Structure 1
């Protein structure tokens, strides 16, 4: 498997390239519109054909590259069916699977940060978007967010995986690249050490976070697959 982790500095967003060494077919998870040339260079470097663009949710902090990639490479745009995005090509549900050569990508529905959050499991890796972050999680006060739902999603869909499963988040603000399910289950400041749902909900309710800086630009654009 060919794998590469990209980082977009302004929103601290990670984008992931996964590709088959057998068929040279590739997918991008959570691509950012401003970084499309970096993706094109990496695809060309490995002689890859981009077949799918996967968004873990409708982002509020950056504009997705989904439509630009579809125009440039002819790939399919993949989103959860609850995303409210009409311009997608493929709408997935919990435990839907996408195959790229020898690679199976399993969707796990992990709502709570938004109503359409989806994590993707590939072998011993899980790409969690904003549902589970390293030592944290996504906020739950916008886009039909729910702390109760997020708690259940993480415990039922992510923390049930093997301890050694590598967690690749949608963002990190401290330069960390990955974690593991076992580490987050034990040490995550918001969810670790068996914290109760009541404790988690109270913690999330009291965060008092500022209004998202780019939501008024990013959200309408991303509901149109990244078109202005």
Structure 2
């Protein structure tokens, strides 16, 4: 009988400076195929990311988005053209096109690792947080990729793309802050040079999300943020996988 090797996580955090976006590479390098996935890939860094995947001897299987981005164009469509076997993934509620439309509780598997999809709407209607599973031999502490729902010491704006301050607050508290307190949180962006936080840190010290719900909603109303400079280009492209003529 063949013995299945316990999974071994390879993890890389990659940065795109123009939009301050983090892309995450995960792979199970104990599996014979070394299957990998990318979370929130950016069009400007496709060659960098594919070069890294090649150098590490990985097989890219999935390209995931945490939501339909307004500040950059996803690389998902470009990746599919360069590596035709890659499957694009986004939440069904985002109303964007992809090979795999996920709902809350769905799992994306690479080898013997998986990410669970947790709906965390509020920044947009389709925001999803991807969480590593909690099997004893899997990544410990757990990791959660929060998109723009929970940032390091902040959260995403809620004034466009069906955003809702009430939904974001409840998403963060019910779907993210209920994870074990040592869970590592990796956001889609950071503008101050920070790379990672934890559930415990954000639940105790996040200046927005530690307020009560009414105060949080009032805070978000008063932000008066500028119109996102890329939104009119990025959102239409991202609804069709990042390529305007994409069929997926």
Does residue 7 of structure 1 match 2:15? yes
Aligned to 2:241: 225
TM (norm. structure 2) is 0.89
Aligned to 2:114: 104
Aligned to 2:75: 65
Structure 2 CA distance, aligned partners of 1:113 and 1:40? 29
Structure 2 CA distance, aligned partners of 1:126 and 1:12? 19
Aligned to 1:148: 166
Query: Residue 93 of structure 2: SS of its match in structure 1?
Result: coil
Alignment map for 1:147-186 (pairs within 5 Å): 147-186=165-204
Structure 1 unpaired stretches of 5+: none
Per the TM alignment, residue 32 of structure 1 is displaced from its structure 2 partner at its CA by 0.1
Q: Which runs of 4+ in 1 moved over 3 A?
A: none
Aligned to 2:96: 85
Structure 1 CA distance, aligned partners of 2:109 and 2:62? 10
Structure 2 unpaired stretches of 5+: 1-8, 133-138
Query: Residue 154 of structure 1: SS of its match in structure 2?
Result: helix
Give 1 or 2 for the bigger CA radius of gyration: 2
Structure 2 CA distance, aligned partners of 1:164 and 1:134? 15
Query: Residue 120 of structure 1: SS of its match in structure 2?
Result: strand
Does residue 126 of structure 1 match 2:147? no
Structure 2 CA distance, aligned partners of 1:148 and 1:83? 18
RMSD of aligned alpha carbons:
0.8
